[in-house]
């Protein structure tokens, strides 16, 4: 008989774990266990790992004014990254998307036009994701396997729909909050002070200071972590997502 042992790093919410209800999904023979705390499913926020890997991600939904600068920094620092782009952004800035792809950065979707998935049915969500994926594929020729919902908004329908479709819903555990009037110093401090192994960091392109502070963020993170793509960070199957959205690899005995 096989038993899955789930290692929980954070015991602060032990009481919540005790009442959490596990949902086991079987997709193409792969076992995924998602905890339902208070009846709610959760996506992947971070990953429990025994190494120092961490993922840098960018949401692209506004403009491409700073894409060249961001690409130059990432390439010069030999830093991997994952970009979640809306389908409309992929269409409007196809040359920038092509640059991202040609430089080896991972591409995920971020909806077609940043509409709220929590107000959609399962069928509507799939149609929107497919529309966004089609826009990306026209440029890259490759279908994205990762997605991130607009504004990170989700409910049970969103998470279940994405997982059952074979895609991975990726949230984030460190938010640079780099939009609006955020200064370079504020962005830097938020990222560096909160980052730890297994984290997924959220930044955006098309902001006032993200491209400016990115070299300093990468330099500091690189002192302690290996920056990888989201697909290199997460587990693809036989994993558990705990109440906090932290992904754990199941140990088999």
Quick one: which of 240, 171, 253, 249 has its CA closest to 22? 240
Sign of dihedral through CA atoms 200, 203, 205, 211? negative
Contacts of 238 (CB under 8 A, 6+ apart): 30, 31, 32, 249, 250, 252
Contacts of 83 (CB under 8 A, 6+ apart): 57, 58, 59, 60, 100, 105, 106, 107, 108, 205
Q: Which of 66, 128, 204, 242 is catalytic?
A: 204
Q: What share of the chain is helix, strand, coil (3-state, %, to 5)?
A: 35, 25, 40
Please confirm, yes or no, whether 59 is among the known catalytic residues: yes
DSSP reduced 3-state for 230: helix
Please confirm, yes or no, whether 204 is among the known catalytic residues: yes
What separation, in Å, do the N-terminal and C-terminal C-alpha atoms of the chain show?
Answer: 8
Q: Which of 59, 178, 199, 242 is catalytic?
A: 59
- Where does the chain show beta strands of DSSP type E? 4-5, 21-27, 30-36, 46-47, 53-60, 82-85, 106-109, 146-147, 168-169, 174-175, 200-204, 226-228, 239-241, 246-249, 251-252
Quick one: which of 228, 124, 134, 126 has its CA closest to 169? 126
> Are the beta carbons of 102 and 68 closer than 8 angstroms?
no
Instruction: Cite the active site residues.
Output: 59, 204
């Amino acid at each position: 008989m096989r038993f899955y042992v789930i290692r929980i790093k954070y015991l602060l919410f032990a009481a919540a774990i005790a009442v959490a209800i596990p949902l086991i999904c079987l997709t193409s023979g792969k076992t995924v266990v998602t905890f339902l705390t208070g009846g709610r499913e959760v996506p992947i926020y971070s990953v429990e790992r025994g190494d120092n890997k961490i993922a840098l991600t960018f949401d692209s939904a506004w403009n491409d004014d700073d894409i060249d600068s961001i690409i130059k920094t990432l390439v010069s620092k030999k830093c991997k990254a994952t970009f979640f782009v809306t389908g409309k952004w992929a269409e409007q800035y196809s040359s920038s998307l092509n640059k991202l792809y040609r430089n080896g950065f991972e591409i995920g979707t971020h909806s077609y036009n940043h509409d709220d998935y929590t107000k959609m049915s399962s069928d509507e969500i799939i149609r929107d994701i497919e529309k966004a994926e089609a826009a990306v594929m026209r440029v890259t020729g490759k279908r994205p396997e990762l997605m991130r919902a607009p504004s990170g908004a989700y409910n049970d329908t969103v998470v279940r729909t994405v997982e059952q479709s074979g895609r991975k819903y990726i949230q984030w555990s460190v938010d640079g909050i780099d939009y609006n009037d955020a200064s370079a110093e504020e962005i830097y401090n938020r990222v560096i002070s909160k980052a730890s192994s297994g984290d997924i960091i959220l930044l955006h392109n098309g902001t006032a200071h993200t491209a400016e502070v990115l070299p300093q963020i990468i330099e500091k993170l690189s002192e302690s972590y290996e920056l990888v793509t989201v697909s290199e960070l997460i587990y693809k199957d036989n994993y558990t997502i705990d109440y906090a959205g932290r992904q754990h690899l199941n140990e088999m005995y």
